[in-house]
Amino acid sequence: MLAGIPRPASVPVTRISDVVKHTATSVVTIERFIIEQEKLHPAATGELSGLLYDLALAAKMIANKVRSAGLADILGATDLENVQGERQQKLDVLANEIIIKALDHGGRLCAMASEEEPGIIDIPPNFPCGKYCLLFDPLDGSSNIDVNVPVGTIFSVVRKITPGSRGEMEDMLQRGRQQVAAGYVIYGSSTMLVYTTGQGAHGFTLDPSLGEFLLSHPNIRTPDAGRYLSVNDSYYIQWEPNVKNLMSYYRGQDGNRQPMSTRYVGSLVADFHRNLLGGGLFAYPANRRNKRGKLRLLYEASPLAFIVEQAGGAASDGQQRILDIQPTELHQRTPLFIGSANDVDAARKMLGDAKSASSVSAVGSVGA
Ligand code: AHM
Ligand code: MG
């Protein structure tokens, strides 16, 4: 089993110049970057590199579908519901299938789990099993598809910890700090893939003319405090008093800080990506109706928490670090406060302290 992911301050961030040499005419494809990074680990077998490259390929295929969605008449909802009881969009189904088919035969995975599937996705018996598990949200924010708002794919990779060749539930239910890689793809005005393997967070932009992801954002660092607050205010009356106080603080209404500006796309990847690059906080607190919030720990919160920490930011459920939460079920939800470290710290202080003063009933996620 891997040791826990160190806090950002102690992360030996790979200097990009150690990995690739930039010249005026050189471009660094994601394939080259992954291979060069692998060389930093003499014991690496290449399996993780292959897996990341397969994910990049799946992302290109999904980007292609998203881009041509209106033209191909594949917009709109299907009659199906996913395991969360939400209507699936056609592109959700396609993206889910694309990822499974791109990853199931390479011999790198022993199992997968998707936000769109009720249980573990086994590797077909005719394909070899590998040492990693992949957990993913194939198309996050899919309710925005019909109105041309950016959507995204989120993924998390953990190492198999059980004996035997097939992946088990125990392999899936690992704390976020056990992740060996995580990333997201944003299908926006351009398509970008951001990933980490624990040596910084790096971003790649898809060049449509070349069909390649090119290194565009090496060693992303997020500001310690941010300008933007991303939260859905329509839940105001359902928030506990301490959450209301926290939001008043972010808005400067209590006179203790400059007000943050509100920006809420309603597509987690889009909100997260903007705040990662520019600084800010995304918050999806628990409320009286949804005691554990809405977002999924394993497919959304944990992978983005790994990335944000690698970029110098933080992620908390209001009580504890997201990466420390012990999952107990595949589709577990968690409150989420993620982004600039100082802004997340304010949530931890105001919600954590309030809880210990027992003024909060059920805010917080299950877990250790
Ligand atoms: P999804 O995974 O079903 O697409 O739901 C997750 C999405 C996030 O992208 C977004 O941040 C959130 O749901 C928005 O929820 P709400 O409409 O309650 O604000
Ligand atoms: Mg989602």
SS (H, E, C) 287-322: CCCCCCCCCEHHHHHHHHHHHHHHCCCEEECCCCEH
Which pLDDT score is estimated for 254? 85
Question: Is the residue at 254 inside a domain?
Answer: yes
Ligand 1 mutation target, pool 81, 82, 83, 143, most atoms within 8 A of CB? 143
Which pLDDT score is estimated for 147? 85
Spacing, Cα 334 to ligand 2 middle (Å)? 12
> Both 168 and 265 in a single domain?
no
Q: How far is CA 173 from CA 21, 190, 308, 317, 330, in A?
A: 39, 33, 21, 17, 7
What residue has token string 């908390």? 316
Question: Is the residue at 223 inside a domain?
Answer: no
Q: What is the CATH number of the domain that holds 295?
A: 3.40.190.80
> Both 20 and 131 in a single domain?
yes
User: CA 51, CA 303: separation in Å to the nearest integer?
Assistant: 16
Q: How far is CA 104 from CA 113, 154, 168, 205, 293, in A?
A: 12, 17, 16, 25, 32
> Both 232 and 184 in a single domain?
no
DSSP 242: H
Secondary structure class of 93 (helix, strand, coil): helix
pTM for the whole structure:
0.88
Which residue lies with its CA nearest to atom 5 of ligand 1? Answer: 141
Ligand 1 mutation target, pool 147, 228, 267, most atoms within 8 A of CB? 267
> Both 301 and 348 in a single domain?
yes
**Of the candidates 217, 237, 263, which is a domain's last residue?**
217
User: CA 38, CA 152: separation in Å to the nearest integer?
Assistant: 26
**Of the candidates 217, 246, 267, which is a domain's last residue?**
217
Average predicted confidence (pLDDT) for the chain? 87
Tokens of 131: 């040492």
Which pLDDT score is estimated for 27? 87
For ligand 1, whether the C-beta of 119 sits within 6 Å is: no
Atom of ligand 1 nearest to the CA of 269: 9
Spacing, Cα 143 to ligand 1 middle (Å)? 8
Domains of the chain: total: 2
For ligand 1, whether the C-beta of 294 sits within 6 Å is: yes
Which pLDDT score is estimated for 177? 98
Which pLDDT score is estimated for 330? 97
Q: Which residues of the chain fall below pLDDT 70?
A: 1-25, 70-82, 84-89, 353-368
Taking only the tens place, the pLDDT of each residue in 313-366 is: 999 999 999 999 999 999 999 999 999 999 999 999 999 854 443 333 333 333
Residue 285 · residue 239 · CB < 8 Å: yes
Question: Is the residue at 163 inside a domain?
Answer: yes
> Both 47 and 186 in a single domain?
yes
Question: Is the residue at 365 inside a domain?
Answer: no
Which pLDDT score is estimated for 87? 61
> Both 243 and 97 in a single domain?
no
**Radius of gyration, alpha carbons of the chain:** 20
Q: Give the domain extent around 108.
A: 16-217
Residue 119 · residue 61 · CB < 8 Å: no
Q: What is the number of the ligand closest to the CA of 141?
A: 1
* Terminal alpha carbon distance of the chain: 18
Question: Is the residue at 2 inside a domain?
Answer: no
Which pLDDT score is estimated for 365? 34
> Both 25 and 46 in a single domain?
yes
Tokens of 166: 């097939």
> Both 336 and 205 in a single domain?
no
> Both 306 and 327 in a single domain?
yes
Which pLDDT score is estimated for 73? 59
User: CA 354, CA 332: separation in Å to the nearest integer?
Assistant: 24
Which pLDDT score is estimated for 77? 62
Which pLDDT score is estimated for 21? 52
Question: Is the residue at 77 inside a domain?
Answer: yes
